[in-house]
Amino acid sequence: MSKTKRFWWLKISEDFFNAKEIKFLRKVAGGDTFALIYQRMMILSLSTEGKLYFENIGNTFAEEIAVELDEEVKNVEMTLNYLKGKGLIDFGESDSTLEFKQVPSLIGTETNWARYKNQAREKELKELENVQSMSNYKEQEQEQDKELDSEKDKEQKSDVSVLFENYLKIFSEYTKDVKTQPRAKAKQVFLQLAPEQRQLAMIGAKNYIVWYDKTDQGPYYSKNAFAFLDDMLFMDYQEIPEASKVGDKKVSKAPEWSNPSYENKTTDEELAKLEKIRQDALSKLGTQENE
């Protein structure tokens, strides 16, 4: 029958290296080595409840520990002196016992038989959980997929709504106090666009307003947010068109008579000449047709 063994472990907290005593220790020359020696000495003391005993094999306690840990004697001595000064260790009256004050509260232990039983129990529980979970695994996975899809849909709808509001704002601010924008119709078309087309619509809208504002035609005659989308006009304004100039006056590419503020200054004499030119052109056209 195999002999029962006992296992020990040191339960060091996650903030061990954040303790001021350890921080100061690591800042001195060779401090990282001293911190490691401290940890190894604590581990060495686990089976004796946080105590080490001088066996009179070496000349000093530090020398015996150095041999046990394969460390330099001077490094062990400096570590012990520092720990003693900070109250982390105590020596017995005859200096034959070294006690690590924190270790008793940090010791974890169990026998090999207890470890075997715990591991066996964990294995059984895991197998049972696997059997029970396999039957509804697909159902849970589908539910998770639905939830993810739902979240994605919400995010996408939210993003599209924000994008549309920004698009509509471009036209609304330009025609403010002049005419209202057909929000519902514009949104209906906007939602039907492909994602990349929505981005192009944003670019086109900005460029169109910049260009149109230079034509001096006034906001009232500008395309509204719905027509701009429905006619796919935004594709024509991926860049700002150049506005033609006559002297210092800005003009649009539309004919001058389309401007509501246009004033016809043609004289009667000029109108008569134009009519004669028109009649001559019609006469020539009729002659060519007869031939």
Three-class SS state of 53: strand
Pick 134 or 59 by higher pLDDT: 59
* Residue 174 DSSP code: H
Q: What is the mean pLDDT of residues 46-64?
A: 89
For 76-122, the pLDDT digits (tens) are 999 999 999 988 888 887 778 999 888 887 777 655 545 555 666 77
Q: Which class in CATH covers the domain with range 7-109?
A: mainly alpha
Lowest mean pLDDT among 20-34, 117-131, 165-179: 117-131
The per-residue pLDDT for 1 is 47
Of residues 68 and 262, the one with the higher pLDDT is 68
d(CA 287, CA 291): 6
The rounded distance, in Å, linking the Cα atoms of 151 and 164 is 20
Residue 160 CA to residue 20 CA, distance in Å, equals 53
Q: How far is CA 80 from the centre of its chain?
A: 48
Distance CA(85)–CA(66), nearest Å, equals 20
Rounded Cα distance between 190 and 163, Å, is 10
pLDDT of residue 95: 75
pLDDT at residue 250 tops 60: no
Mean of the per-residue pLDDT values of the chain: 78
List pLDDT tens digits, range 261-270.
Answer: 545 566 777 6
| C-alpha to C-alpha distance for 113 and 212, rounded to whole angstroms | 87
Is 43 a residue whose pLDDT tops 60?
Answer: yes
- C-alpha 141/C-alpha 163 separation (Å) is 33
Full-model pTM: 0.38
